[in-house]
């Protein structure tokens, strides 16, 4: 940690201690890593339902862009000063969140990480899917379709996004174990429009590609929105997370299937575990929400 950063950190901590409002034990803050996707909307719905059932006020505000770590800084700062809640549900989008957790702990504010863990933070619990297992499951499904001569493009979200990076790393490792050939890796961006634009610039690189892996809803939707603009080719595409538009792509057989998380349950469980903690009960440090794979057969059987 640099001297300048350390001094700033100490001063900000002192200011928070001196000018903090009285903490409200029946209030929770939720700060997601991003917004605008079905994933975050479903998690927020779960948080709101559980908070209502347990008698908590809930405040939710997240940055528009998951890669904009400074925006999450601002949201956390505003929430802490304005509301004085005693509990924080946070999807951290930067490693420096561990210092935020340390500062909040010194003020008696408890934190639960949702969707991802950045390691090294003294949080009450982590409520998430096993992001590495998501990547493994996607590779296993890909291996049912492809052989070693087929070429895969891993079209990634953005650097340093903890959840998708773990999926990408695990997919790469498992694909190697299965003898699959990842011939192309590219970062695309953190919004559907940015992903779509990035894919249009990959036209020449996609000529020999047979299959695509995308690590979240934004990349999955953005890639499929862009493909008709660059080629008539149909790729074997496996993605992560679902929405109405993703399911429409599966129904049209433009996507083979997606590994699906349950963000609603993540939201519910994070509130329930925080409630137990605030009431003096011991809670498990890691709560893993199961994932599943859905394809056209699953949609047709509904």
Instruction: Tokens 């409200």: give the residue.
Output: 24
Tell me the per-residue pLDDT of 167-195, one tens digit each, with 9 for 90 and over.
999 999 999 999 999 999 999 999 999 99
Tell me the per-residue pLDDT of 101-121, one tens digit each, with 9 for 90 and over.
998 999 899 999 999 999 888
* Cross-strand partners of 60: 30
Position 199 confidence tier, pLDDT thresholds 50, 70, 90: very high
* Cross-strand partners of 58: 28
| Strand extents, DSSP E, 42-100 | 57-60, 85-90
Alpha helices by DSSP H, listed for 107-161, are 131-143
Instruction: Tokens 């059932």: give the residue.
Output: 53
The model's pTM is 0.85
Contact 247, 299 (CB under 8 A): yes
Is the per-residue pLDDT at 205 higher than 90? Answer: yes
Under CATH, which number does the domain 3-129+262-290 receive? 3.40.50.2300
Q: List all residues 6 or more positions away from 142 whose beta carbon is below 8 Å from its beta carbon.
A: 152, 175, 178, 180, 211, 213, 236, 238
Under CATH, which number does the domain 131-260 receive? 3.40.50.2300
pLDDT of 295 reads 96
- Listed range (36-40, 138-142, 197-201, 220-224) with the worst mean pLDDT: 36-40
Q: What is the Cβ-side half-sphere exposure of residue 292, based on CA atoms within 13 angstroms?
A: 5
Position 301 confidence tier, pLDDT thresholds 50, 70, 90: confident
Comparison of pLDDT for 299 and 138, the residue scoring more: 138
Is the per-residue pLDDT at 302 higher than 70? Answer: no
Domains 3-129+262-290 and 131-260 are alike in CATH topology:
yes
- Listed range (7-21, 59-73, 133-147, 226-240) with the worst mean pLDDT: 7-21
Domain definitions of the chain by residue range: 3-129+262-290, 131-260
Position 278 confidence tier, pLDDT thresholds 50, 70, 90: very high
Angle between helix 69-83 and 97-106 (nearest 10) = 10
The mean predicted confidence, pLDDT, of the chain is 90
């Amino acid at each position: 940690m640099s001297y300048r950063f350390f001094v700033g950190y100490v001063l900000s901590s002192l200011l928070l201690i001196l000018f903090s409002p009285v903490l409200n034990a029946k209030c929770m803050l939720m700060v997601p890593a991003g917004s605008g996707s079905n994933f975050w909307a479903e998690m927020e719905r779960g948080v709101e339902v559980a908070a209502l059932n347990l008698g908590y006020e809930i405040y939710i505000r997240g940055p528009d862009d998951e890669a904009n770590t400074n925006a999450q800084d601002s949201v956390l700062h505003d929430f802490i000063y304005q509301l004085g809640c005693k509990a924080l549900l946070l999807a951290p989008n930067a490693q420096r969140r561990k210092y935020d957790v340390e500062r909040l702990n010194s003020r008696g504010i408890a934190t639960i990480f949702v969707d991802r863990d950045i390691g090294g933070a003294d949080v009450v619990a982590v409520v998430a899917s096993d992001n590495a297992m998501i990547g493994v499951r996607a590779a296993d499904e890909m291996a049912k379709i492809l052989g070693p001569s087929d070429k895969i493009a891993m079209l990634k979200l953005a650097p340093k996004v903890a959840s998708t990076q773990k999926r990408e790393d695990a997919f790469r490792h498992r694909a190697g174990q299965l003898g699959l050939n990842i011939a192309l890796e590219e970062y695309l961006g953190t919004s559907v429009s940015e992903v779509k634009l990035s894919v249009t610039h990959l036209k020449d690189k996609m000529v020999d590609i047979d299959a695509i892996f995308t690590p979240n809803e934004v990349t999955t939707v953005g890639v499929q929105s862009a493909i008709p603009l660059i080629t008539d080719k149909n790729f074997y595409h496996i993605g992560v997370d679902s929405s109405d538009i993703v399911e429409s792509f599966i129904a049209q057989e433009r996507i083979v299937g997606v590994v699906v998380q349950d963000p609603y349950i993540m939201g519910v469980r994070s509130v329930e575990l925080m409630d137990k903690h605030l009431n003096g009960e011991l809670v498990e440090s890691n709560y893993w929400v199961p994932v599943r794979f859905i394809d056209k057969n699953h949609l047709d059987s509904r």
